Amino acid sequence: METVGFVGLGIMGRPMLKNLLKAGYTVIAFGRNAKKLDACVADGAVRAASNRDVGSRASIIFTMLPDGPEVEDVVLGADGILDGCPPGALIVDMSSINPLVSQKIAAACAARNVDFIDAPVSGGEPKAIDGTLAIMVGGSEKAFRHAEPLLRCIGSSVTLTGPVGAGNTTKLANQIMVACNIAAMGEALALATRCGLDPDVVVNAIKGGLAGSAVLNAKAPMLIARNFKPGFTIRLHQKDLRNALLTAEANRVFLPLTALVQQMLQSLMGDGKGELDHSAIATFSERLSHVEIRRA
């Protein structure tokens, strides 16, 4: 089994790394947060000294970082992963970033005879823990086949969606649908609650019909229980919608609902809710209607 590198050890990265360890891979880990790195070493990972050190010691390197600038810095920056990679290595970026940034990094990697794929995920912390993430991949067929056995240790759905950048474009489409669904759920349950109905009863009544969705099943219980422990934060979702709007602008696509929900997320961040789970998008409607969606 080949040696694996992993950089980015946060809410999503650490459980993904642990699933690779469970599958029997040797994982070389690095992150700038010493406590998070120590935790991963305690899980069984091997400590690296730098991003470059990870690249020099692994044939396939995973990154899971907040946004494009961080990925550029970790991969292409001074003492970055690419500086350590031998020809023929593969970098798998699982971050959710602007597709144009993925393509820029891929071009720099290609100049060094290093393969690159973008492979963002959907499912949040719970599915990262149990290894059932949905993974959307952009890259060559060859690079995809190289990464696929490892990706299947992390996700239950692994799909090659097109060339580099296609994975992140698919993820942006996913994030638009999720954010708009949560916002609509907030409006619907605010109305039901103001009208004197129990939101639990309303959710149970509608989830088996056309309005039912994975978003409703996962996020309505959190909202009603007032449990906003983050599996995926409002701050990160706002970043994804910003990238969706930038991509839409570059391709002359009109996204009015996305723009509206992105403004809602910015408002919630202004209220200090940026680190709450994105189920708290629904609290925007609560604030405007002066109603709290909770169990009766």
- Residues with a known catalytic role: 171
Rounded to 5°, angle at Cα 265 from 97 and 279:
90
For 65, the token pair is 């970082």
For 168, the token pair is 């992140």
**CA-to-CA distance for 278 and 274, rounded, in angstroms?**
9
Cβ neighbours for 61, distance < 8 A, ≥ 6 positions apart: 4, 5, 6, 7, 54, 55, 81, 85, 89, 90, 91, 92
Q: Are 116 and 99 in contact (CB under 8 A)?
A: no
Count of other CB atoms within 10 angstroms of residue 281 = 28
Count of other CB atoms within 10 angstroms of residue 129 = 18
Residue ranges with strand state E in 14-114: 27-30, 46-47, 60-63, 90-93
Rounded to 5°, angle at Cα 221 from 220 and 226:
100
Phi–psi pair at 122, nearest 5 degrees = -135, 145
What residues are paired with 155 via a beta bridge? 133
Q: Are 7 and 62 in contact (CB under 8 A)?
A: yes
* Counts of helices then strands in the chain (DSSP H, E): 14, 9
Classify strands 115-118 and 155-162 as parallel, antiparallel or unpaired.
unpaired
**CA-to-CA distance for 179 and 168, rounded, in angstroms?**
16
